[in-house]
Chain A
Amino acid sequence: MMMHNNGNNGYGNGVMTSASPTTTSLSSSSASANGQSTQQQQGLKTYFKTPEGRYKLHFEKTHPPGILPYSHGKSVSQITLAHLKEKPTQAGSASSSGASTSGGVRNAAARLLGVGGGNGSRALSFVGGNGASKAANGTSRSSSLAGSNGSHSMLNSNYDGKGTYLMFNVGDSLFVSDLNTHDKDPIKSLHFSTSNPICHSFDPEAKDGHDLLIGLNSGDVYSVSLRQQLQDVGKKLVGAQHYNKEGSVTNSRCTSVAWVPKADGTFVVAHADGNLYVYEKSKDGTGDTTFPVVKDQNQFSVAHARSSKSNPIARWHICQSSINGIAFSSDGAYLATVGRDGYLRVFDYQKEQLICGGKSYYGALLCCAWSMDGKYILTGGEDDLVTVWSMEDRKVVAWGEGHNSWVSGVAFDSYWSSPTSDGTEESVMYRFGSVGQDTQLLLWDLSMDEIVVPLRRCPPGGSPTFSTGSQSSHWDSICPVGTLQPAPSMRDVPKLSPLVAHRVHSEPLSGLIFTEESILTACREGYVKIWVRPSNSESQSSNPEIPVGNSSKELPPLPGKTGASSYKSVHLLIYSSNTFS
Chain B
Amino acid sequence: MGAAGSKLEKALGDQFPEGERYFGLENFGNTCYCNSVLQALYFCVPFREQLLDYYANNKSIGDVEENLLTCLADLFSQISSQKKKTGVIAPKRFVQRLKKQNELFRSYMHQDAHEFLNFLLNELVDILEKEAQAVKSDPETSSPSDKTANGPKNAQANGALKEPLVTWVHKNFQGILTNETRCLRCETVTARDETFLDLSLDIEQNSSITSCLKNFSSTETLNAEDKFFCDKCCSLQEAQKRMKIKKPPHILVIHLKRFKYIEQLGRYKKLSYRVVFPLELKLSNTVEDADSEYSLFAVVVHVGSGPNHGHYVSLVKSHNHWLFFDDENVEMIDESAVQTFFGSAQEYSSNTDHGYILFYECLGSTSNKS
Contacts and interface: CB of A to CB of B under 8 A. Distances in A.
A489 B208 contact: no
A553 B316 CA distance: 48
Interface stretch (A32-40, A43-51, A165-173, A287-295): A32-40
A508 B244 contact: no
A483 B366 CA distance: 26
Contact of B206 (A405, A463, A466, A470): A405
A437 B206 contact: yes
Interface in A15-65: 29-30, 32-33, 35, 37-38, 40-41
B214 A561 contact: no
Contacts of A38: 347
Given A384-B208, A574-B244, A577-B287, 16 more contacts: A40-B205, A362-B293, A404-B204, A405-B208, A405-B210, A463-B370, A469-B291, A490-B289, A508-B206, A508-B345, A567-B218, A567-B240, A568-B221, A571-B214, A573-B218, A573-B219
B269 to A, nearest CB: 7
A482 interface: no
B282 A362 contact: yes
A32 B273 CA distance: 10
A382 to B, nearest CB: 4
A185 interface: no
Contacts of B219: 564, 567-568, 573
B205 A560 contact: no
Interface in A532-580: 560-561, 564-565, 567-568, 571, 573-575, 577, 580
Contacts of B273: 37
A565 B240 CA distance: 10
Given A406-B208, A438-B206, A561 B289 contact: no
Contact of A362 (B202, B204, B280): B280
B288 A362 contact: no
A423 interface: no
B274 interface: yes
B367 A469 contact: yes
A264 interface: no
Contacts of A30: 204
A555 B285 CA distance: 27
B207 A580 contact: no
B291 A342 contact: no
A465 interface: yes
Q: Which 7 interchain pairs have the tightest Cβ spacing?
A: A363-B278, A382-B278, A404-B211, A564-B221, A405-B208, A571-B214, A362-B280
B276 A364 contact: no
B205 A561 contact: no
Contacts of A384: 208, 210-211
Contacts of B262: 35
B293 to A, nearest CB: 6
A490 to B, nearest CB: 5
9 contacts: A32-B205, A35-B260, A35-B269, A404-B211, A437-B208, A560-B184, A573-B214, A574-B285, A577-B289
A146 to B, nearest CB: 49
B60 interface: no
B90 interface: no
Contact of B284 (A490, A506, A524): A490
B291 A489 contact: yes
Interface string B180-220: 10101000010000000000001111111011001101111
B187 to A, nearest CB: 9
A571 B211 contact: yes
Contacts of B238: 561
Contacts of B284: 490, 574-575
Contact of B345 (A33, A506, A571): A506
Contacts, number: 149
B85 to A, nearest CB: 26
Interface in B338-357: 340, 345-347, 349-350
A571 B206 contact: no
Interface in A407-453: 437-439
B191 to A, nearest CB: 8
Given A33-B205, A437-B208, A561-B238, A362 B278 contact: yes
Interface in B248-294: 260, 262, 264, 269, 271, 273-274, 276, 278-282, 284-291, 293
Nearest to B277: A382
A17 B215 CA distance: 20
Contacts of B218: 567-568, 571, 573-574
B369 to A, nearest CB: 7
Interface residues of B, number: 57
Contacts of A573: 214, 218-219
B78 interface: no
Contact of A342 (B189, B202, B280): B280
A4 to B, nearest CB: 16
Contact of B189 (A33, A35, A70, A580): A580
A211 interface: no
Contact of B221 (A41, A466, A470, A565): A565
B276 A406 contact: yes
Given A490-B291, A574-B285, A33 B204 contact: yes
A33 B288 contact: no
Contacts of B347: 37-38
Contacts of A234: none
Interface string A492-511: 00000000000000111000
A396 to B, nearest CB: 14
A507 B347 CA distance: 11
A280 interface: no
B254 to A, nearest CB: 15
B289 A489 contact: yes
B114 to A, nearest CB: 19
A462 interface: yes
Contacts of B81: none
A465 B276 contact: no
Nearest to A68: B350
A491 interface: yes
A561 B276 contact: no
Contacts of B336: 74, 272, 322
Contact of B281 (A41, A363, A465, A470): A363
B289 A491 contact: yes
B288 A463 contact: yes
Nearest to B210: A384
A69 interface: yes
Interface string A359-376: 001111000000000000
A217 B346 CA distance: 25
B289 A361 contact: no
A178 interface: no
A574 B288 contact: no
A381 to B, nearest CB: 8
A63 to B, nearest CB: 16
B282 A361 contact: yes
A7 to B, nearest CB: 10
A220 interface: no
B207 A405 contact: yes
A580 B244 CA distance: 11
A383 interface: yes
A403 B205 CA distance: 13
A573 B217 CA distance: 9
Contacts of B207: 29, 404-405, 438
Contact of B202 (A33, A37, A364): A33
A383 B278 contact: yes
B96 interface: no
Contacts of B118: none
B122 interface: no
A508 B278 contact: no
A37 B182 CA distance: 34
B346 A577 contact: no
Given A437-B206, A466-B288, A577-B288, A362 B281 contact: yes
Contacts of A469: 291, 367
A141 B184 CA distance: 79
A273 to B, nearest CB: 12
